[in-house]
Structure 1
Amino acid sequence: MLLVTGITGHTGKYFLKELMNNNYQGPIRCIVRNSSNTSLLDESGLNIEKVVGDLSDNAFIEKAMSGVETVMHIYNIHHSPVIVQAAISNQVKRAILVHTTGIYSNFKDASQGYKKVEKRVLELTQNNDCQTSITILRPTMIYGDMCDSNMSKFIKMVDKFRVIPVINKGENLLQPVNARDLGKAFFSVLISPIETAGKAYDLSGDQPIKMIDVFNKISRELNKRTFYISVPLNIGVFISKFIKTFTLGKINYIEKIQRMGENRSYRHDEATIDFGYKPISFEEGIRREVEEYLGESKIK
């Protein structure tokens, strides 16, 4: 039995498509919410059991873990310790955890919570009674379609505004990863239990790219002319803190602004060696996303 969390989410749906494309034969138990759109699950043709529940409910997680051999935890890194604890107590063989390269951030606020999660996971698995093998996957900035919370916002900005502020001239490096590549990576890890046991992998895009070049490529795809205003990092953080205070915490871009001041490019050599990871170029990925955006704009 394969247990999956977050399968109706942005990257989860691409993992589901890989299961479908590869005609996965085993039983799959998917944790969903009452509000989840499960139409793709229902139409998948796979042996899927849907269970409705809350990952914050320990008793529910324990029950959902019964009879499970492998866990693919895609939804929310902060639930990983509970998932791992339940996996261990139910003698689950493998737990594949989708975390984030945000753990490497030099900014305490941006990485401390992620580090605590992985430390707790390590503590749980160091117990002598633990029979669960752990694999951690750390994607970089995720994009791929208009459901993402990263490039979709940049595309809309470039389309609507001729002048765009960038932090420190936009010189920081990114390595965005397409959600389709993540779906393929998740499936590859699933079918490579020996090669990936006990390891952690960074899952990045094809090549590093400067933030300013990200905007320029989007501008070209949209056939727009864009001008940029460089904003020093400390001023950007000050403004984001003011906005957070003014909106009573409803709008909080502090972490995102902080991370715009540091390089976020990470090699994925180990993933390529162990399970053949080969992401598409950013040019190809952003072209597809802009085309989707323009298609939706025409419909509206």
Structure 2
Amino acid sequence: MSETLIVLGATSLIGRRLPEAAGSLRLAGVSRRSEPRPGYADWITADLTEGGFGRGLPEAERALILSPVWTAAAAVPSLAAKGVRRIVATSSTSRFTKAHSPDPAERAVAQALATGEARLREVCAERGVAWTILRPTLIYDEGLDGNVTRLARLIRKARVLPLAGGGRGLRQPVHAADLARGCLDALERNAARSKAYDLAGGETLTYREMAGRIFDALGLRRRIVPLPAWAWRAAFTLARPLLPGAGAQMGARMQDDLVFDDAEARRDLGWSPRPFRPDFRGF
């Protein structure tokens, strides 16, 4: 019989990519959405924030928590009651990059990530569950994510991209498929127990070059226009309907280096992500 792996947040970007990396594992997906994802043998519709979450969960020794890390601790008692003794949960490097943002909403996200991680560690220790926390950098999955794909939609529509100050800040985009593999590897590695890792993409490049690669993937000539901050803010106001969910701090961060050292993950997890070469064929 195949081992069952419980996956909370199965409709997330990483959760969508798990079936292709799971091999013989039997995936039991848990989500607030009732529509099962392809590749999941079992599907449980549940909300981690509501009572009775544990009803319907299968017996299992291991679980992935891909839902927001600030909800993770609440799930641990129910998972432990089903026999789970090993958990890998995802957080985000936004815990650090947004901690000192001038935007109160972004600071609140950073605080929620930090508090969620701490609470997860506490509850796992109380229940005798081994934990690992993975913090990806900028996640993308062509056609699905709200980062690279959102930028691709703007580029395809406008055929030109204004960048605040030239977009000199460094980025490390990481593909959801690589993260799915990384989560499964973390479950297998004893060296990863009781540790948190920053997971960066396979390449460090400027925001401008990242945007240029998106132009290339769309088959468009690179038309990138550096603008002073005041002009970029005006352009952003006009383009905002094409960037749902984007905030005004997006421009300011184009100049910031948002990079992380993933040497420990490469050592302990065998982390080896792909370089940034997005594929938007058919997009």
Q: Name the TM tier (shorter chain).
A: 0.7 to 0.9
**Match of residue 23 from structure 1:** 24
Unaligned runs of 5+ in 1: 42-47, 245-249
The yes-or-no answer on 1:10 pairing with 2:13 is yes
| Partner in structure 2 of residue 161 of structure 1 | 158
- Report the secondary structure of 1:282's partner residue: coil
Secondary structure of the residue aligned to 2:55 is: helix
> CA shift at 1:147, angstroms?
0.9
Which of 168, 188, 191 is equivalent to 1:195?
Answer: 191
Partner of residue 44, structure 1: none
Offset at 1:168?
Answer: 3.1
Equivalence for 1:115: 114
Query: Which residue of 272, 275, 284 maps to 2:269?
Result: 275
Residue 6 of structure 1: how far off its partner (Å)? 2.1
In structure 2, the partner of 1:45 is none
Offset from partner CA, 1:59-99 (integer Å, 9 cap, x none): 21x33556332110112223112123444566631111011
Which stretch shows the higher mean deviation, 225-234 or 4-13?
A: 225-234
Work out whether residues 140 and 176 of structure 2, in 8 Å CA contact, stay in contact via their aligned partners in 1: yes
C-alpha distance after superposition, 1:189-210 (max 9, x if no partner): 2222x12111111111112111
Distance in 2 (CA, whole Å) between partners of 1:233 and 1:281 is 33
User: Is contact 1:206-1:279 (8 Å) kept?
Assistant: yes
Amino acid at match of 1:232: A
Separation in 2, partners of 1:50, 1:206: 33
For 1:53, give the aligned amino acid: A
Number of residues of Structure 1 aligned to a counterpart in Structure 2: 267
Are 1:75 and 2:67 matched, yes or no?
A: yes
SS of the aligned residue for 1:215 comes to helix
Residues 258 and 97 (structure 1 numbering): CA distance in 2 closer, same or farther, change over 3 Å? farther
Q: Secondary structure at the match of 1:278?
A: coil
**CA drift at 1:11:** 1.4
- Contact 1:91-1:131 within 8 A present in 2 as well: no
Match of 2:141 among 141, 144, 152: 144
Residue 213 of structure 1: how far off its partner (Å) = 0.9
Equivalent pair of 1:92/1:131 in contact (CA under 8 Å): no
Match of 1:264, SS? coil
**Pairwise CA RMSD:** 2.8
Q: Which moved more, 1:67-76 or 1:177-186?
A: 67-76
In the alignment, is residue 178 of structure 1 matched against residue 146 of structure 2? no
Following superposition, the deviation at residue 38 of structure 1 comes to 2.7
Residue identity opposite 1:23 in structure 2: S
Letter in 2 for 1:253: G
After TM superposition, give the deviation of residue 4 of structure 1 in Å.
Answer: 0.7
Amino acid at match of 1:68: A
Q: Does 1:99 align with 2:91?
A: yes
The secondary structure found in structure 2 opposite 1:137 is strand
Shift of 1:37: 4.3
Query: Do the aligned partners of residues 76 and 256 (structure 1) sit closer, same or farther apart at CA in structure 2, a change above 3 Å counting?
Result: farther
Aligned to 1:247: none
Could you report, residue by residue, the CA deviation over 1:222-250 in whole angstroms, capped at 9, with x for unpaired residues? 2324131424289749x77xx79xxxxx8
Letter in 2 for 1:227: I
1-structure distance, mates of 2:222, 2:276: 20
Q: Do the aligned partners of 2:6 and 2:64 also contact (CA within 8 Å) in 1?
A: yes
1: CA distance between counterparts of 2:49 and 2:252?
29
Per the alignment, do residues 109 and 226 of structure 1 end up closer, same or farther by CA in structure 2, a change over 3 Å counting? farther
Could you say what secondary structure the match of 1:63 adopts? coil
CA deviations on 1:106-159 (whole Å, 9 max, x unpaired) are 3234512211212222333454xx311110011111113211111111122222
Q: CA deviation at 1:282?
A: 0.8
What's the counterpart of residue 104 of structure 2? none
Structure 2: 5+ residue runs without aligned partners?
102-106
- In 1, the alpha carbon distance for the partners of 2:50 and 2:232 equals 41
Kindly, what percent of the aligned residue pairs are identical?
22
Which residue does 2:44 correspond to in 1?
A: 51
1:137-187 Cα offsets, whole Å, 9 max, x none, are 111111132111111111222222244222332011110001111111112
Q: Take 1:219 and 1:252, find their aligned partners in 2: how far apart are those partners?
A: 20
**Residues 59 and 35 of structure 1: is their aligned pair in 2 closer, same or farther, counting only changes over 3 Å?**
closer
**Separation in structure 2 between the aligned mates of residue 64 and residue 260 of structure 1, nearest angstrom:** 45
